[in-house]
Amino acid sequence: MKHTRFIIYISALVALTSCNSDNFYNTKRFIETDKNMYCIGDSIFVTLNIMPLQVDSKEIRVFSDLKNIKLFPYSKSAMISSDFYEFDKTGEINTIIITKEDYFSRTLKGIIQTHEDKIIINFDNYSNNIVLNKSVYEESPDLAIGGICLPIKPEPGAELEETFNQKRIAIVNCEKQGRPTSMPE
């Protein structure tokens, strides 16, 4: 009798949580940029792509302002605050069915700027800017842009993030070095 109750309890728990949960499992998440080399002051176009891997289609949920998709630098100078994984879970949610032919693809337009001791990639209509420590950047202009997808309502025991493949870029000081023609070694 206890065994039957346990099975009923688990079945009910799964049914209740799976209907209103979301995740980015079994998806390929990758970032593209319009160029590989940039100067301070340049515009940058970063495209976020999410496509299903082992299924024909998959439902994903993202906020219309993409606040559950976060970008950050992979670099020694990365500055990621402790509240990076937290976000306001109110707002318009888009439920999107993605396929391998019609996958999620959103391009963000930004500008590369300096402010005091930081280099900032400031994106229009996206609250998650990329911040780099200027002194470390000057030692090595090579970095990669990475990102994570955070489920809006994850199921119990689920991963709380799914990462994007990194996209390697370089930001150089064109006033000192001239406009770049190839990636630094």
72's tokens: 């950050």
d(Cα 18, Cα 115) in Å, to the nearest integer? Answer: 45
Helix ranges, the chain (H): 2-19, 134-139, 174-177
Instruction: Give me the chain's average pLDDT, please.
Output: 81
C-alpha distances (whole Å) from 17 to each of 7, 20, 55, 74, 153 are: 15, 6, 21, 34, 9
Which tops the pLDDT comparison, 128 or 75?
128
Domain residue spans of the chain: 23-177
Beta bridge partners of 144: 74, 168
Q: pLDDT tens-digit profile of 60-90?
A: 999 999 999 999 887 654 545 545 667 788 8
CATH number for region 23-177 = 2.60.40.3880
Q: pTM of this prediction?
A: 0.80
Is a pLDDT exceeding 70 seen at residue 131? yes
Q: Which of 162, 163, 169 is nearest to 184 (CA)?
A: 169
Residue 13: alpha-carbon gap to chain centroid = 30
Q: pLDDT tens-digit profile of 13-46?
A: 444 444 455 789 889 999 999 999 999 999 999 9
